[in-house]
Amino acid sequence: MWRILLADDHGIYRKGLHLALQRAFPDADLLTADSLPTILSTVEENPDLDLLIIDLHMPHRIPIEGLCDLSANCRNIHLVALSASEAATDILECLACGFHGYISKLQTDEEIIAGIEDVLAGKIYVTPRLALTKGLASWREMVKATESSRSQVIRLTNRQRDVLALLARGKSNKEIARELAIAEATVKIHAAAVIRVLGATNRASAALYAQQWLERKE
């Protein structure tokens, strides 16, 4: 029996999707949450959850650091992002952080259920609209690259991800130190660790990697 947590702060949408899940998985134990604190407490109280479906805008957009932290703390749970956005950058951001699926709120109930079934079967699922716009070949390459790279992102500490995000914005060590309120020598240590973990050859290539995978949409 599947144990599924549906998290969305919009009551009407949450109730509608809950009904669709009940029809598709009549034997499943379905839980709901309407806030991030409720999500965290429910996950802590139910370590045997199989799936967490989470709206990315609860009540505001969850930052990239929050997504990676959530993924790191829910290693035994399949994670599916739920969003009205179909931007490739948003989708790749979630997959790079370790999410197993990305569902668009613009999809039909049937498409959403099919995507959830794929994730529960151990596959990575993304709204087919992206696959259609990118083309099948490039889409396969994208998924392959995502699967091989997301573990590297998760391996970074919170502070290293902070440094990486600022590297992607072209910040110098001095600027990063000032923004994060840490010593410049500490920034150098974190930057070196980031380069090593990502397998980058230098600071510039690490910044390029960050722009591709971690740059948050403004």
The better pLDDT of the pair 134, 189 is held by 189
Local confidence band at 216 (pLDDT 50, 70, 90 cut-offs): very low
Q: How many CA atoms lie within 13 A of 14 on its CB side?
A: 17
Local confidence band at 165 (pLDDT 50, 70, 90 cut-offs): confident
Q: Which of 128, 121, 125 is nearest to 100 (CA)?
A: 125
* Residue type at position 80: V
> What is the model's pLDDT at position 204?
62
> What is the model's pLDDT at position 152?
56
Pair of tokens at residue 175: 């600027």
pLDDT at residue 61 above 90?
no
Pair of tokens at residue 187: 């920034």
Do 91 and 99 touch, CB atoms closer than 8 A?
A: no
Q: Which of 25-39, 98-112, 130-144 has the lowest mean pLDDT?
A: 130-144
How far is the C-alpha of 28 from the C-alpha of 39, rounded, in Å?
18
Percent composition of the chain: helix, strand, coil (DSSP 3-state, to 5) = 60, 15, 30
The better pLDDT of the pair 8, 207 is held by 8
Pairing mode of beta strands 101-104, 125-126: parallel
> What is the model's pLDDT at position 139?
45
- In the block, which residue shows the tokens 């990239």? 64
> What is the model's pLDDT at position 26?
95
Local confidence band at 200 (pLDDT 50, 70, 90 cut-offs): low
Across 64-72, average pLDDT: 67
Local confidence band at 127 (pLDDT 50, 70, 90 cut-offs): confident
Across 91-117, average pLDDT: 84
How far is the C-alpha of 80 from the C-alpha of 99, rounded, in Å?
6
| Arithmetic mean of pLDDT over the chain | 77
Q: Which of 59, 16, 18, 19 is nearest to 37 (CA)?
A: 59
Which DSSP string do the residues of 117-148 spell out, in sequence order?
HHHHTT--EE-HHHHHHH-HHHHHHHHHHHHH
Do 168 and 194 touch, CB atoms closer than 8 A?
A: no
The better pLDDT of the pair 95, 45 is held by 45
